[in-house]
């Protein structure tokens, strides 16, 4: 039975209908409308989410790492390897300007060979000021994609630093992409994003110092208390498709390691973020800023102000 769900987009626009069965069957136009409705919180979007048949067996793979490591090139090489027999979705997250709030969705240009491929769906998202390398609606949109009949979903974060670990709370497998010569050896020992990766990839491994970086990563991993899965350190040259098969083999092997505890932890983290976002809905940020401006002085007690106004 076909179920139609209708949503008002704006007061001055006509209602369009989203067909869940067509989305699952691969109607990318319907899928794009659904994602836009969720991303922009159009009227009825949450009811749409409530009625989705989400397949949580579809793996979500996070591709993260510092700017210039070659994340988009790596994804392009992955598409070349998988797109012939698997249906793939990619969410490419780009940073929003703090000044204009716009975003140059440049990652799509690096994967333009697959724009019209029938097995590939590429969607760009802006961070809209969200920290952590993701869009504020990444959780919900990844679940929309999990209901759309894809075999695997990749999420490429913006170029992140050492403390932006949000992708690990969303992805079933987190791949950290590094490149040799991007920093001193101590960088490999710092806490944060290095501690949450399930797979380490040294891209551009044909460059000098790749072996040195691999050595430091192995040393770091030996200091960690690891039960079960031991994160591998892999070398790739994305522009030449070198090491891609080995990377994908590790991704699928890691998927087999998932247990009920891992899946429960991921859903728990998602729930916390969604509940927090809902509790903050309607909060008047401008009012808070004006109140702080109105009472600010060099000897004000910030904590007493918060207690009196908000706690």
pLDDT tens digits along 85-101: 999 999 988 765 444 44
**Quick one: 46 and 83 in the same domain?**
no
Span 33-60, average pLDDT: 90
Q: What is the pLDDT of residue 137?
A: 84
Residue 122 lies in a domain: yes
Dihedral pair phi/psi, residue 198, rounded to 5°: -95, -25
Q: What is the pLDDT of residues 25-34, one digit of tens each?
A: 889 999 999 9
User: Which range of residues forms the domain containing residue 12?
Assistant: 1-53
Rounded to whole angstroms, the Cα distance separating 199 from 48 reads 34
Angle between helices 71-82 and 244-256 (to 10 degrees): 80
Measured in whole angstroms, the distance separating CA 255 from the mean position of its chain's CA atoms is: 17
**Quick one: 49 and 81 in the same domain?**
no
Query: Does the structure show a pLDDT above 90 at 245?
Result: yes
**Quick one: 161 and 17 in the same domain?**
no
**Quick one: 32 and 93 in the same domain?**
no
**Quick one: 136 and 232 in the same domain?**
yes
User: Can you give the C-alpha Rg of the chain in angstroms?
Assistant: 21
Span 26-49, average pLDDT: 89
More confident residue, 171 or 97: 171
Q: What is the pLDDT of residue 19?
A: 77
**Among the listed ranges 5-19, 20-34, 76-90, which one has the minimum average pLDDT value?**
5-19
| CB-CB contact of 173 with 247 (8 Å) | no
Query: Does the structure show a pLDDT above 50 at 1?
Result: no
**Quick one: 164 and 299 in the same domain?**
no
Rounded to whole angstroms, the Cα distance separating 48 from 6 reads 9
**Quick one: 86 and 163 in the same domain?**
yes
Query: Does the structure show a pLDDT above 60 at 241?
Result: yes
Query: Does the structure show a pLDDT above 80 at 190?
Result: no
**Quick one: 67 and 11 in the same domain?**
no
**Quick one: 256 and 121 in the same domain?**
yes
The tally of domains found in the chain comes to 3
Residue 173 lies in a domain: yes
Highest mean pLDDT among 18-22, 115-119, 246-250, 292-296: 246-250
**Quick one: 110 and 140 in the same domain?**
yes
| CB-CB contact of 5 with 47 (8 Å) | yes
Query: Does the structure show a pLDDT above 80 at 57?
Result: yes
**Quick one: 256 and 293 in the same domain?**
no
More confident residue, 11 or 137: 137
Give the chain's mean pLDDT. 81
Residue 272 lies in a domain: no
Residue 70 lies in a domain: yes
Q: What is the pLDDT of residue 261?
A: 73
DSSP state letters, 115-164: TT-TTEEEEEEE-TT-SSSS-TTHHHHHHHHHTTT-SEEEEEPPS--SS-
Dihedral pair phi/psi, residue 19, rounded to 5°: -105, 110
**Among the listed ranges 127-136, 171-180, 247-256, which one has the minimum average pLDDT value?**
127-136
More confident residue, 154 or 108: 154
Percent of the chain with pLDDT over 70: 78
Dihedral pair phi/psi, residue 92, rounded to 5°: -105, 115
Residue 201 lies in a domain: yes
**Quick one: 34 and 156 in the same domain?**
no
Q: CATH code at 175?
A: 3.40.50.300
């Amino acid at each position: 039975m076909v179920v139609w769900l209708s949503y008002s987009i704006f007061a001055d626009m006509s209602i369009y209908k989203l067909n869940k069965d067509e989305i699952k069957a691969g109607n990318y136009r319907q899928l794009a409308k659904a994602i836009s409705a969720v991303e922009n919180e159009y009227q009825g979007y949450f009811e749409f989410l409530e009625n989705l048949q989400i397949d949580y067996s579809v793996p979500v793979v996070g591709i993260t790492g510092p700017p210039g490591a070659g994340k988009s090139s790596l994804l392009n090489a992955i598409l070349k390897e998988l797109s012939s027999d698997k249906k793939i979705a990619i969410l490419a997250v780009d940073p929003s300007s703090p000044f204009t709030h716009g975003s140059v969705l440049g990652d799509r240009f690096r994967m333009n060979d697959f724009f019209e491929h029938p097995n590939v769906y590429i969607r760009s998202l802006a961070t809209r000021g969200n920290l952590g390398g993701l869009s504020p609606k990444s959780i919900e949109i990844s679940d929309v994609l999990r209901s759309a009949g894809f075999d695997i979903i990749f999420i490429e974060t913006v170029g992140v630093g050492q403390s932006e670990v949000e992708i690990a709370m969303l992805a079933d497998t987190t791949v950290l992409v590094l490149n040799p010569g991007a920093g001193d050896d101590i960088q490999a020992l710092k806490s944060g994003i290095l501690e949450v990766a399930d797979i380490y990839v040294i891209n551009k491994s044909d460059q000098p110092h790749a072996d040195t970086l691999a050595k430091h990563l192995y040393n770091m991993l030996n200091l960690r208390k690891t039960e079960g899965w031991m994160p591998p350190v892999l070398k790739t040259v994305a522009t030449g498709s070198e090491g891609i098969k080995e990377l994908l083999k590790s991704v699928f092997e890691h998927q087999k390691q998932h247990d009920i505890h891992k899946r429960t932890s991921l859903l728990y983290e998602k729930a916390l973020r969604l509940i927090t976002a809902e509790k903050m809905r309607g909060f008047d940020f401008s009012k808070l800023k004006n109140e702080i401006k109105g009472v600010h002085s060099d000897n004000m007690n910030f904590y007493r102000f918060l207690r009196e106004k908000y706690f």
